[in-house]
A and B are shown apart, each in its own frame.
Chain A
Amino acid sequence: MRALVIDDSRTMRRIVSAALEELGFTTLQAGDGQQALDLLESGEEVDLACIDWNMPVMDGLTFVTRVRANSAWRDITLMMVTTESEHGQIVRALAAGAHEYLIKPFTPDAIRDKLDLLGLIPAEEHV
């Protein structure tokens, strides 16, 4: 499976990507929502996008809205990975079309648990 990790922090992109690669994902990275959209529009196919909220150029919520507006990308699972942890923000993201919400700070196990809920953990990764 392929995952797109979208965060303006390269540190966070590396942390999230490493956790996903441990679970068998191939990862792509983008520094903001617009870069991520450009990748999708160029034909890159992904099963999962992990999306930060606060980013320059295009924020994560706008990215989610834009992806959900395009039926060609309806199969992409969207997971917010962000410090935005107020209930209202979580509701906004889910209403916009995000499937899951992971609050920073997180552990690799927390990523795994969320992906398990989404049915995205390969069978061989289950203990």
Chain B
Amino acid sequence: MTAAVEHDQVYAIAEEVFSAMIDGEPGYLRPWDGELPVAAEPLVAWVDVHGELAGRAAVTTDLETAHELTRALLGMGADEPVGPEDLNDAFGEVANVVGGNVKALLPTQGSLSLPVVATVLPEVPGTSLTHELRLDWRGRSIVVVVWLFQ
């Protein structure tokens, strides 16, 4: 997916996902400035693209930010508790929409896996990182990554 997908296109996808689905308006997502903090409780959601060009799109953040994303997506109150099912489903859907739109940029058609949410992203042998977007969402760090499977 290296040549087929440009860094700016992935950023534009992330921006659109956050402005349309999460914030309701643009302006809350920007490039992260400086070193990324180490997440005490990391959480990652990803989808795989299968086909002639195969790869993976993942969204990584910390658990607290994933809770905030879930509240924003579901229109929940600031102090409303987030259950594990809602957390997995909402955070997975963010990765699903990002991955689906990355897939659409590819020159060949492929299929998209269902989203997976875990604390660690499993390694795939022969994978090369093609894009890493370090993002700042309301002061919280979120990383969007796209890999190419070789």
Do A and B come from the same complex?
yes
Judge if B97 is at the interface, Cβ distance under 8 Å.
yes
Q: List 5 A-B contacts (CB under 8 A).
A: A9-B89, A11-B90, A54-B114, A84-B104, A85-B104
For chain A, the count of residues having a C-beta within 8 Å of the partner chain is 22
From known contacts A9-B92, A86-B109, infer whether A14 and B99 are also in contact, taking CB-CB under 8 Å: no
Q: Other CB < 8 Å A-B pairs besides A8-B114, A14-B74, A84-B100, 13 of them?
A: A9-B93, A9-B96, A10-B86, A11-B73, A11-B90, A11-B93, A15-B21, A15-B73, A15-B74, A83-B96, A85-B101, A104-B100, A106-B21
**Interface of B, helix, strand, loop or mixed by DSSP:** helix
From known contacts A54-B114, A82-B100, A88-B109, infer whether A11 and B16 are also in contact, taking CB-CB under 8 Å: no
Judge if A119 is at the interface, Cβ distance under 8 Å.
no
List residues of B whose CB falls within 8 A of some A CB.
16-17, 20-21, 24, 70, 73-75, 85-86, 89-90, 92-93, 96-97, 99-101, 103-104, 109, 111-112, 114
- Identity of the chain B residue whose Cβ is nearest the Cβ of A89 in the assembled complex: B109
**Using Cβ atoms and an 8 Å threshold, which residues of chain B touch A86?**
103-104, 109
Judge if A24 is at the interface, Cβ distance under 8 Å.
no
Q: Are A83 and B109 in contact (CB under 8 A)?
A: no
In the complex, A124 Cα to B67 Cα: how many Å?
A: 37
A-B interface, 7 closest residue pairs, ranked by CB to CB distance from nearest: A83-B100, A105-B20, A85-B104, A11-B90, A105-B21, A9-B93, A105-B17
- Identity of the chain B residue whose Cβ is nearest the Cβ of A108 in the assembled complex: B24
In the complex, A106 Cα to B99 Cα: how many Å?
A: 15
Judge if A107 is at the interface, Cβ distance under 8 Å.
yes
Q: Are B112 and A83 in contact (CB under 8 A)?
A: yes
Q: Are A18 and B96 in contact (CB under 8 A)?
A: no
**Using Cβ atoms and an 8 Å threshold, which residues of chain B touch A88?**
109
Q: Within the complex, what minimum Cβ distance (angstroms) separates A101 from chain B?
A: 13
Which of A11, A54, A106 counts the most B-chain CB atoms under 10 A from its CB? A11
